[in-house]
Chain A
Amino acid sequence: MRPPKVAEALLGRFLPLHERDEILGDMAERYARTAAREGRLRARLWYWRQGLAIPLHMLRRRSLPIEFQDLRFALRTLRRSPGFTAVAILTLALGIGANTAIFSIVNGVMLRPLPYPEPERLVRVWEHNDSFGRLQAAWPNFVDWRAQNESFEVITAYSGWTDTVLGGAEPLRAGISPVSAGFFRVLRTEPTVGRSFSDAEHAEGADPVVLVSHSFWQDQLGGTAEIGDAELFVAGFPVTVVGVLPAGFDFPAGTDVWYPAELQKQGDSRTAHNWRIVGRLAEGVLPEQAQEDLSLITARFEADGEAIEYLAQRAQVIPLREAISGPVQGPLMLLLGASFMVILVGCTNLASTLLARGSARSGELAVLRALGAQKSRIVRRLFTESLLLATFGATAGLLLAAALIRALPALLPSDIPRMAEIGLHAPVAIAVVVVSVGAALLFGLLPAWRIASGDLGAPLRDGGRTVSVVGNRGPWRLLVIAEVALALILLTGAGLLMRSLFRAANVDPGFSADGVVAMSVALPAHEYGEVHQRVAYYDELLQNVRRIPGVARAGLTLRPPLRGWPTNGRISIDGGPEPHVSAAYQVADPDYFETLGIPLVRGRFLDSSDTADSAHVVVINEALADLAWPGEDPIGKRLTGGGMDSYWEDPDAWAIVVGVAGDIRQRDLTTETYPAMYFSYRQRADRASSAWVVVRGERIEAVDLIPQMRAAIRDLDSDVPVQFLTMEEAVSSSLGDRRFLAEVLGSFAAMGLLLAALGIYGVVAYTVSLRTREMGIRMALGSAPAHVLRMVLRESMVTVVIGLLLGLAGAAVASRLLSSLLYEISPYDPVALAATALTLLTVAAVASFIPARRAATIDPLITMRAD
């Protein structure tokens, strides 16, 4: 029976090397005996208790600056002032907890090396051109790079999307990724079960094979080692599973099935930017050198008769780690900065509290010195106290951090990369703890030193009441100013983000999401390869869904709003001029618009007269109407959409505009409406191998109809995977990142505010207590209590206002960094600034008022009598 691992490791760490084996061995032996006699739980408890007691004994023996007696004394002192102790520990715990959690995220997402061998040699490669910036690569370009480069050990292309996979435990939509030859050599990853792809399998016409993720293997294939027989239908094609990748392997993120990209014939367009490129640099080659190398090759690319503006001009090579974390770097750095400010406020707070305490105890310490205590002894005693506080604070902080980190997957937006690698790692925890505990000790020791070396007579002569060792109030005011300024910066940032979230949440999306459920259906290609089969399926499905009691309306679309960029491409209009307009390509049915409450602006929606045999028609949105036919009536005009579907392979296949629909937000709530065209699925089901049915209920929430809808799908064809989404969810997840940032920054700001309030209260209360006698005299000489109250308040508020002004200046600088995250709010938004300043002012006023009132109620007789 092995002793608890953590306790043993901890104990081992504290024991001197020459005694470690002996003691750990003895402990193991006794643990086994205790466990046999009293059960495992008691034995564990025993081990922890004993294990921690041994190093304590050892410490006592050596002359560390802690003595047992001091420790007991410190404990007693802290217990005597529970308010102070709680505030100090809480301050440290919040600071350490929040910082460790945020820094752990930064560490996991941005800093830790990728979980592949020699990760520093991994890079992402993009095409780059002046008009469009960074672009994915076209296949022939990739092929040239691969053939001609001198910088890479291996360079490969991959892609990824979601598609239907049948043949597992249930039909489902899974992440599919085609990868070119050498992909797993780039990442140096081998299947744990089965084998990887052979070179012969990376070829057109080879037997189709796939590798699957560990979780897919477990959940869908039963996790057996006999994978040779597993047959799947991926996107409608029968494939054989040849191997299982290691647990935790997740590249590209979210992939469950990998297959050789070369199975399919790749196009020869040099401007079809469809492939992502990842490579392993040759030994000793830097990313910049590889970029130079690939750019030279890129310069030789020629596009025959293709849109030259889409052609790459050079290559961009970026370390894979940066490429993965790139999109979240800004927000993460923001959070890191904010959490750092919280800990700054916390430390300032701790400093002022410890200093105040130190001063207040000058009398007690002077007595100790007068009785012959050595200076070093007094310092040591105070040091022990700070150390104890710091230890408690750090422990609580780490526990908080651990809890936060465990809760992170639920808290973080789901698209944070490398989420699985976020954890409480020792270096992070140690760094944060060292900084905060260091600060606590420093601030604890500073007053100790000053007091211990101060004039020991003075406090005694003055009755130990009126003396501050830190004679003037300058340092206190500085600390309060710093706290207020930092808190204001935090509050302003949070205020701006919240206002911006509020703005975004109140954007009119152009449709009504309330009570609408969207259900995605994906038709397996082997059963629905023909367009007429799809049309028939959708016809019947819509009919069946509309027949469900409680369904008011049901419509069809390629992709519901707020689910990312819709498919789009360049369009041409009849009679020119070339409008240089890109438009989103949508397929819908007549009821789609009314189900979502999209208004009709002109003409008509699609209707049942639009059939496969009638003239092809299109409904466009207002944005497209304004761009393509500014100032004209678009009804009756004609357009075509290049290569967006097969109907347009005939360049004269015009579609006639029959209606204009209202604009809606497509990608997300805060992205402007994109020009869009809606075709009828009966006329153009070419791209509709999967689609969404949107449903609105009548006198019943559509959500409650999900079981019936599921049944309708199953009854029609049980091989069609289905997934549900309420449009309200779509709206709220479209705000997810914004909400997350606003919430986290908001809670940091709340912490900052709370800490600042405590700090102000502490300092004012302390200064008031120092001046009790002065107040008493003032009142004895006729000062009204109200006057004393005003005086104390005024002094404290002057300090607060100075802090506010400084904070406003700081906020102006800090908020500029926020501007890219703000939506329709200026970083200098007067409402946000005024509101935060006012909040802080109010809180500061309350925090000063309480001790000020105490000053005003001083009984002059009592104060005087004390002398």
Chain B
Amino acid sequence: MGDSIGEFEKLLLLAVLRLGEEAYGAAIIDELAERTGREVSAGAVYVSLRRLQDKGMLRSHAGEPTPTRGGRAKRYYEVRRDGIVALKAARDAWDAMLDGLETELQLNT
């Protein structure tokens, strides 16, 4: 059975996908905050990034150190196939559960 993922992890994967080449910690946190309109705990982001890597849904590589960051390197993330699969599965499950409730939830599909 494929790993299931939590709500926050889904959002994270989507953020990484959106950012493409520019998906590193600070950018991911900003993207999440901006799109969801909520403050995001950095600690939670790092913990989840690691967990998603452990599950094989993300991979990462270190970038070059930059002076604006006090000479520290960025770590770039990239969604792996398992991540895409999990996102799709989540979407399917969501859709299946929504099916027939459009009027009740007042969704204009």
- Asked whether B26 lies within 8 Å of A26 as measured between CB atoms, the reply is yes
- Asked whether A53 lies within 8 Å of B70 as measured between CB atoms, the reply is no
Instruction: Please indicate the chain B residues that have their CB under 8 angstroms from the CB of A19 in the complex.
Output: 46, 50
Instruction: Please indicate the chain A residues that have their CB under 8 angstroms from the CB of B46 in the complex.
Output: 19, 23, 54, 57-58
B109 touches A (CB below 8 Å) = no
Known: A57-B47, A61-B47. A27 touches B73 (CB 8 A): no
- Asked whether A22 lies within 8 Å of B25 as measured between CB atoms, the reply is yes
Known: A21-B72, A21-B73, A50-B42. A26 touches B25 (CB 8 A): yes
Q: How far is the CA of A54 from the CA of B43 in the complex (A)?
A: 4
- Asked whether B69 lies within 8 Å of A26 as measured between CB atoms, the reply is yes
Q: Which residue of A lies closest to B66 (CB)?
A: A25
- Chain B's nearest CB lies how many Å from the CB of A4? 12
Interface residues of B in 36-62 (CB under 8 A from A): 41-44, 46-47, 50-51, 62
Q: Which residue of B lies closest to A3 (CB)?
A: B70
Residue of B26, B50, B74 with highest tally of chain A CB at under 10 A: B26
- Asked whether B25 lies within 8 Å of A23 as measured between CB atoms, the reply is yes
Q: Which residue of B lies closest to A1 (CB)?
A: B68
Instruction: Please indicate the chain A residues that have their CB under 8 angstroms from the CB of B24 in the complex.
Output: 22, 26
Number of interface residues of A (CB under 8 A): 23
A470 touches B (CB below 8 Å) = no
Q: Which of B30, B68, B72 contacts A22 (CB 8 A)?
A: B72
B29 touches A (CB below 8 Å) = yes
Instruction: Please indicate the chain B residues that have their CB under 8 angstroms from the CB of A54 in the complex.
Output: 42-43, 46
Q: How far is the CA of A55 from the CA of B69 in the complex (A)?
A: 20
Instruction: Please indicate the chain B residues that have their CB under 8 angstroms from the CB of A3 in the complex.
Output: 70
Known: A22-B72, A25-B74. A57 touches B41 (CB 8 A): yes
- Chain B's nearest CB lies how many Å from the CB of A137? 55
B80 touches A (CB below 8 Å) = no
Known: A22-B25, A23-B25. A28 touches B70 (CB 8 A): yes
Known: A22-B25, A29-B26, A61-B47. A2 touches B42 (CB 8 A): no
B75 touches A (CB below 8 Å) = yes
- Asked whether A28 lies within 8 Å of B69 as measured between CB atoms, the reply is yes
A835 touches B (CB below 8 Å) = no
Q: Which of B25, B47, B50, B75 contacts A60 (CB 8 A)?
A: B47
Interface residues of B in 10-25 (CB under 8 A from A): 24-25
Q: How far is the CA of A55 from the CA of B66 in the complex (A)?
A: 24
Q: How far is the CA of A19 from the CA of B48 in the complex (A)?
A: 13
A30 touches B (CB below 8 Å) = yes
- Chain B's nearest CB lies how many Å from the CB of A42? 14
- Asked whether A24 lies within 8 Å of B72 as measured between CB atoms, the reply is yes
- Asked whether A24 lies within 8 Å of B47 as measured between CB atoms, the reply is no
Instruction: Please indicate the chain A residues that have their CB under 8 angstroms from the CB of B73 in the complex.
Output: 21-22, 25
Instruction: Please indicate the chain B residues that have their CB under 8 angstroms from the CB of A53 in the complex.
Output: 41-43
Q: Which residue of A lies closest to B76 (CB)?
A: A22
- Chain B's nearest CB lies how many Å from the CB of A58? 7
Instruction: Please indicate the chain A residues that have their CB under 8 angstroms from the CB of B72 in the complex.
Output: 21-22, 24-25, 28
Q: Which residue of A lies closest to B26 (CB)?
A: A26
Residue of B41, B50, B62, B70 with highest tally of chain A CB at under 10 A: B70
Interface residues of A in 10-35 (CB under 8 A from B): 19, 21-30, 32
Q: How far is the CA of A321 from the CA of B74 in the complex (A)?
A: 49
A143 touches B (CB below 8 Å) = no
Q: Which of A29, A56, A57, A58 contacts B69 (CB 8 A)?
A: A29
- Asked whether A26 lies within 8 Å of B29 as measured between CB atoms, the reply is yes
Q: How far is the CA of A32 from the CA of B51 in the complex (A)?
A: 28
Instruction: Please indicate the chain A residues that have their CB under 8 angstroms from the CB of B51 in the complex.
Output: 61
Instruction: Please indicate the chain A residues that have their CB under 8 angstroms from the CB of B44 in the complex.
Output: 57
- Chain B's nearest CB lies how many Å from the CB of A328? 44
Instruction: Please indicate the chain A residues that have their CB under 8 angstroms from the CB of B30 in the complex.
Output: 30
- Asked whether B29 lies within 8 Å of A57 as measured between CB atoms, the reply is no
Instruction: Please indicate the chain A residues that have their CB under 8 angstroms from the CB of B26 in the complex.
Output: 25-27, 29-30
Instruction: Please indicate the chain B residues that have their CB under 8 angstroms from the CB of A23 in the complex.
Output: 25, 42, 46
- Asked whether B47 lies within 8 Å of A2 as measured between CB atoms, the reply is no
Q: How far is the CA of A28 from the CA of B72 in the complex (A)?
A: 9
- Chain B's nearest CB lies how many Å from the CB of A19? 7
- Chain B's nearest CB lies how many Å from the CB of A225? 33
Q: How far is the CA of A21 from the CA of B64 in the complex (A)?
A: 11
Q: How far is the CA of A241 from the CA of B38 in the complex (A)?
A: 67
- Asked whether A58 lies within 8 Å of B75 as measured between CB atoms, the reply is no
Q: How far is the CA of A729 from the CA of B106 in the complex (A)?
A: 87
Instruction: Please indicate the chain A residues that have their CB under 8 angstroms from the CB of B41 in the complex.
Output: 50, 53, 57
- Chain A's nearest CB lies how many Å from the CB of B56? 17
- Chain B's nearest CB lies how many Å from the CB of A673? 68
Known: A22-B75, A25-B73. A56 touches B43 (CB 8 A): yes
Q: Which residue of A lies closest to B60 (CB)?
A: A22
Instruction: Please indicate the chain B residues that have their CB under 8 angstroms from the CB of A2 in the complex.
Output: 70
Q: How far is the CA of A19 from the CA of B42 in the complex (A)?
A: 13
- Chain A's nearest CB lies how many Å from the CB of B27? 9
- Chain B's nearest CB lies how many Å from the CB of A834? 61
- Chain A's nearest CB lies how many Å from the CB of B98? 32
Residue of B24, B42, B44, B50 with highest tally of chain A CB at under 10 A: B42
Q: Which residue of A lies closest to B51 (CB)?
A: A61
- Chain B's nearest CB lies how many Å from the CB of A93? 29
Q: How far is the CA of A60 from the CA of B41 in the complex (A)?
A: 14
Q: Which residue of B lies closest to A54 (CB)?
A: B43
- Chain B's nearest CB lies how many Å from the CB of A208? 52
- Chain B's nearest CB lies how many Å from the CB of A674? 66
- Asked whether B68 lies within 8 Å of A32 as measured between CB atoms, the reply is yes
A51-72 near B? 1/0 per residue, CB < 8 Å: 0011111101100000000000
Q: How far is the CA of A56 from the CA of B42 in the complex (A)?
A: 11
Q: Which of B29, B43, B50, B70 contacts A24 (CB 8 A)?
A: B70
Q: How far is the CA of A37 from the CA of B70 in the complex (A)?
A: 19
Instruction: Please indicate the chain B residues that have their CB under 8 angstroms from the CB of A60 in the complex.
Output: 47
- Chain A's nearest CB lies how many Å from the CB of B51? 8
- Asked whether B69 lies within 8 Å of A25 as measured between CB atoms, the reply is yes
Q: Which of B42, B47, B62 contacts A26 (CB 8 A)?
A: B42
- Chain B's nearest CB lies how many Å from the CB of A56? 6
- Chain B's nearest CB lies how many Å from the CB of A32? 7
Q: How far is the CA of A23 from the CA of B68 in the complex (A)?
A: 14
Q: How far is the CA of A799 from the CA of B68 in the complex (A)?
A: 67
Q: How far is the CA of A61 from the CA of B48 in the complex (A)?
A: 10
Q: Which of B50, B62, B68 contacts A29 (CB 8 A)?
A: B68
- Asked whether A55 lies within 8 Å of B43 as measured between CB atoms, the reply is yes
- Asked whether B42 lies within 8 Å of A27 as measured between CB atoms, the reply is yes
Instruction: Please indicate the chain B residues that have their CB under 8 angstroms from the CB of A26 in the complex.
Output: 24-26, 29, 42, 69, 74
Q: How far is the CA of A54 from the CA of B50 in the complex (A)?
A: 13
Q: Which of A28, A29, A58 contacts B43 (CB 8 A)?
A: A58
Interface residues of A in 778-815 (CB under 8 A from B): none
6 interchain pairs, CB-CB under 8 A: A21-B75, A22-B24, A25-B25, A26-B24, A26-B29, A30-B42
Can you name 7 extra interface pairs (CB under 8 A) apart from A25-B25, A26-B29, A58-B46? A21-B62, A25-B26, A25-B66, A26-B69, A27-B42, A50-B41, A50-B42
- In the complex, the 5 A-B pairs of residues with the closest C-beta atoms, listed nearest first: A57-B43, A25-B72, A26-B25, A25-B69, A26-B26
